[in-house]
Chains A and B, each alone.
Chain A
Amino acid sequence: MDLNKIMERLFLYKVYKFNKKLFIFFTGFAMLSLICNITGNEITPFYVWGMYSEKEVAPVHYEIFRVQINNNLVDYSTGFLPENRLFLLSPLTYYASMKNAKDPTEVFLKEKLKDKFAMIQPYAKRVLNSQKEVNEFPSWYRRYLQQTTGKIVQNLKVEVLNTSYDIHNNIRIDSTYTLIDER
């Protein structure tokens, strides 16, 4: 087959023939997306489309957050739209991981960059979470629960249930601890 005919059928070639600037825009976007995917580093708007590709490893525990407001259980797993559920659960999980340690992103960066972390430390201090954000979290969570449920939150209790599955795949509670208790 003639090379010219093959080229004429290529999308980027057609764009190149039509408009050089548009060609640079498309090629740049495609190249940066490809580089981000090869290196595994996401830089908005060049995304890595992994979608559950990471090899799953069975954890020791599956954490379940039991949220109670005014002594009533908030079952975030039903009755809330997925985005709402995300905001009820994901920051809470992050808070639990931060409460007794540093921001997981900081830990990750220190591990990855080692001595070079010192170079970005002044910026990291401004960008990553500190004890201040950790201290402010329960108040925010209370406000967001009020927004979500429409109820005045007089007391808030969040317990973490460390669960696992038995051989019949039934859930069992291995241990429990209180994460937030505000009365």
Chain B
Amino acid sequence: MKDKTQEKIFSRKYINLLCRIVFTLILIDLSIAGLSNTLTHQLQAPVLKYPYVDPTFWIMHLLRIPEFISSNFYFAWGLDISLFASCIGVLLFPQKKLLITLFIVSYFFYYIIFNSFSTHHNHFQIPVLIVPIAFLFSGKAFTFSWEGLRYFCLFTYSGAFFWKLFRLSWLNPEQGILIVKKNLTPYLYFNPGSLLSNIYNWLLRNPLCLEIMFLTGFAIEGAFIVGFFTKKFDKYLLVLSLILPIGFWFFADVPFFAQVILSLTLLHINPKYLRGENNN
């Protein structure tokens, strides 16, 4: 039987290129964290924690790891240096699995610290935590991992669609306006005359527009289901996956831009990059 996946194995050159693109985006994300005063050493030994009901967070807090790292000057700096150094190291040497492992472990600690001490479990950092795992594999195993990430990307959006579908929030005529009010009331209060406030105020006076926008987002999320059956529409899904984070930002002031890292899995590759050495 002919192995149909054989012809789709990514070359080492292409894996390195993908790795560098992903870690460049991660480096930008880490730099934004630095500018946002949210690196571990900048958090000033936070006190209120939020493990909620996630057992992973409970285990980490039972072991006192987030508290210890974030309140210790040297460990907090050490974690931040480890994040940046391993990220830059991977950019320079994308084949060094040890550097990728160091980054994943460091980011896992940072992820727990950030989400627990911000008292909100955010989803916008998940691609940074998950995508680098694929680069621990080589050759055909990487090809499968990358395709697995493509399904994960489809799952994130179609999952959101099904949650809305089954919770019947799409039938709530006030869903759009209430999301905007919930997330943007402070902005509207403190900046009553700004251009963006005027846009939001116009939309609040015309809630049908907000509802149409919400339902459009809902439909776009549903469109990702098609990706489970065919790759023909990946280029359109890629465009939609770039539009959705803008919607999340506009509607809810949530920086979902790291999701773009996952969107890379929807990119179609020029076949010339697929030829060359195949490392299994």
Contacts and interface: CB of A to CB of B under 8 A. Distances in A.
Contacts of A165: 181, 204
Given A56-B169, A81-B35, A105-B51, 12 more contacts: A18-B144, A19-B141, A44-B112, A45-B126, A49-B155, A51-B163, A77-B191, A78-B194, A82-B254, A91-B46, A163-B189, A169-B204
A49 B55 CA distance: 17
A183 interface: no
A30 B112 CA distance: 22
9 contacts: A8-B1, A49-B160, A51-B123, A57-B178, A76-B186, A77-B191, A83-B255, A108-B53, A146-B44
B7 interface: no
Nearest to B244: A51
Given A56-B178, A87-B118, A128 B51 contact: yes
A105 B37 contact: no
Contacts of B47: 129, 133, 136-137, 140
B37 A84 contact: yes
Interface string A94-115: 1100100000010011000000
B48 A137 contact: yes
A129 B144 contact: no
A105 B155 contact: no
Interface residues of B, number: 84
A45 B253 CA distance: 24
Most B C-beta atoms less than 10 A away, residue of A52, A76, A81, A95: A52
A72 interface: no
A40 to B, nearest CB: 9
A15 B56 contact: no
B278 to A, nearest CB: 13
B182 A56 contact: yes
Interface string A41-57: 11111011111111111
Given A64-B189, A77-B190, A91-B118, A52 B62 contact: no
Contacts of A136: 47
A109 B51 CA distance: 12
B251 interface: yes
Contacts of A62: 181-182, 185
B182 A91 contact: no
Nearest to A77: B187
